[in-house]
Each structure stands twice: as structure tokens, then as C-alpha cells.
């Protein structure tokens, strides 16, 4: 029996927004399946969890159905700013980037930073500069923009607010490979109409992204400020490692802690044993799971994986 597992998410929130795109749900499910295929191909061949989560997230970054890479939300100035992080549970090395405007594959830049060292986190011009200097593909900021995201920005600015409710959404992946090593990756465009150089939980190691072979790999999606305050990824991991909770119990307890603070969202997690868990406190969460026997995707709360 295969030991490896891969779990992905594509954002949590209200998944039936009025965007006039009747095919959106079908295309999103297709995107989730393609991301699972990309990661599963690596794990089936005995590849590493780090390679698998990068590959899965890379597919989702290029899919305009999700708020990462192409199809990301626009900030208050009408620009896309991208955040991503990746972490290797075998040695707790990590790479994180924020505020990217021209780098096509944020998760791959985070991986490059993790392997290059010594820094863990780069932001804005410095992060895009590293991508250029290491030969990573650069694109115009307009390449990331879709008509639907432009419409959302115009609508929110007209109301004087920002994206606090409708998310469809941040992407992430967690995996355990045949060697029992875990890894996590998360990528996002953040909130529509975000201001002041805002950075959410996704690129913050221990909040939106975390991996430790002693416990679990975790990726988050939702109201980022609350996930930061709860140190969500690390909290889940330590509930397993120090409190002896099961993976699902730890995940549910972490989501409850965030909800008690006033935040909503979802989490996915895997353990070195091959155990996996997911959960969300919103109406839906794009999600998928794969192992040696099955691959399945779901969106709404009443769907099983």
C-alpha cells in the first residue's frame, strides 16, 4: 500500500459569487484535478514532498479560477501583488516571498529562496529582483489580471470596502512522500482592494504555511489576519507534537481558536504517517486529495472527499 498522500486547497469562503460565469465551478474542479495529477505524478515515482507541493501549486497559480498567480485579486491601485511560501518538514528549511509584481511563478521563487539561503523571506522589489537574477520568467503585471478581478475591484471600491467575505481563493498543497517527509506550499494574491503594502498569512512561516516531520505539514486559507494572530500552522503542528492530539482534532481545534477570535477559513494537513485532514468554517472550500488508490475533489460542505 502506498504511503504518500497529497492534499490541496483552492480557497475557502462564499463559493457562489455573482460573477456571471456559469462555467467557473466546472473549470475550478478541472484545475484542482490537474493540480492533483501534477503532484501525484511526482509522488508515484518516489519523488519528494517538496517537489510535489511545488508542482501542484504551480498548476493552480497558472489557473485563473484561483486567487494566486494569473487571476489574482487586484489591490487598491489596480495592481496584482503576489505572496507565496514553501517549507520542507525534513529540515524545517523554508522560503517565502511577498509583494511580487512581475514573477510568473511565486511558489517556485519561494523554493529558489529556500534552497539558496541564507534568507527565509524577501518582499517587493527585492523578491522580484532575485527572480530576475536567477533567470525566472518575468511578465507584465497586466498578465496576471482578468476581467472578472477588475470588475470585483471596481465594485468594492464603489462600496468603499474590501474583500472581507467573498474568497475564491488562495491555493495550497501539503504532502507526505514515500520516505515519510512532509512539505507545505501556499500561494495567494491576497485581498481585493488591499492597501498599505498589506501581507497576509500565506507567506508567513508558522501562520499560513508550516511543515515539520515531527508532526505535520499545514496550509491555510481564509481571513489571514486571524490566522496570523493564531499562528495557525504552528499551532496545529504543536497540538499534534506536544498535546498528542490526532491530526483532525488538532485541525478542528485550531479552526475553533481562529473562529473564537472572529476569523473564518480552512486548513489542510498531512502527517508523516500518511494521515491527512482538512476542515473549514466557511460555506465551502475548494479541495482535493490523492493517494496511490484515489483522487477526488470537492467544493461544498456537503461533498465528501
Q: Report residue 129 CA to chain centroid gap.
A: 23
Asked if residue 6 lies in contact with residue 182, where contact means CB atoms within 8 angstroms, the answer is no
The DSSP secondary-structure symbol of 138 reads: B
- Report residue 150 as a C-alpha cell: 477588475
- Count CB neighbours of 239 within 10 A: 22
- Which H helix or E strand runs over 95? strand 93-100
44 is catalytic: no
Catalytic-role residue among 170, 188, 192, 281: 170
| Cross-strand bridge partners of residue 13 | 284
C-alpha pair distances (Å), 51 with each of 43, 44, 162, 236:
8, 12, 35, 23
Task: Give 256's contacts (C-beta < 8 A, 6+ positions apart).
Answer: none
Q: Which residues are catalytic?
A: 170
Amino acid at each position: 500500500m502506498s504511503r504518500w498522500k497529497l492534499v490541496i486547497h483552492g480557497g475557502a469562503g462564499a463559493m457562489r459569487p455573482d460573477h456571471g460565469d456559469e462555467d467557473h465551478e466546472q473549470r475550478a474542479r478541472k484545475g484542482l484535478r490537474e493540480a492533483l495529477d501534477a503532484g501525484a505524478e511526482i509522488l508515484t515515482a518516489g519523488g519528494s514532498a517538496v517537489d510535489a507541493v511545488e508542482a501542484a501549486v504551480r498548476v493552480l497559480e497558472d489557473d485563473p479560477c484561483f486567487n494566486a498567480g494569473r487571476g489574482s485579486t487586484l489591490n487598491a491601485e489596480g495592481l496584482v501583488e503576489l505572496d507565496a511560501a514553501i517549507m520542507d518538514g525534513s529540515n524545517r528549511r523554508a522560503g517565502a516571498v511577498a509583494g511580487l509584481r512581475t514573477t510568473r511563478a511565486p511558489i517556485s521563487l519561494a523554493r529558489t529562496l529556500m534552497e539558496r539561503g541564507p534568507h527565509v523571506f524577501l518582499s517587493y522589489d527585492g523578491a522580484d529582483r532575485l527572480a530576475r537574477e536567477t533567470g525566472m520568467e518575468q511578465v507584465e503585471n497586466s498578465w496576471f489580471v482578468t476581467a472578472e478581478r477588475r470588475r470585483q475591484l471596481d465594485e468594492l471600491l464603489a462600496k468603499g470596502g474590501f474583500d472581507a467575505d467573498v474568497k475564491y481563493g488562495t491555493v495550497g498543497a501539503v504532502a507526505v512522500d514515500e520516505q515519510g517527509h512532509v512539505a507545505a506550499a501556499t500561494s495567494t494574491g491576497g485581498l481585493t482592494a488591499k492597501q498599505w503594502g498589506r501581507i497576509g498569512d500565506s507567506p508567513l512561516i508558522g501562520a499560513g504555511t508550516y511543515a515539520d516531520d515531527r508532526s505535520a505539514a499545514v496550509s491555510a486559507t481564509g481571513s489571514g489576519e486571524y490566522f496570523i494572530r493564531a499562528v495557525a500552522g504552528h499551532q496545529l503542528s504543536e497540538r499534534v507534537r506536544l498535546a498528542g492530539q490526532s491530526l483532525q482534532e488538532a485541525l478542528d481545534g485550531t479552526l475553533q481558536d481562529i473562529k473564537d477570535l472572529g476569523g473564518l477559513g480552512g486548513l489542510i494537513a498531512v502527517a508523516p504517517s500518511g494521515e491527512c485532514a482538512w476542515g473549514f468554517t466557511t460555506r465551502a472550500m475548494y479541495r482535493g486529495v490523492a493517494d496511490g488508490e484515489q483522487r477526488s475533489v470537492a467544493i461544498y460542505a456537503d461533498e465528501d472527499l
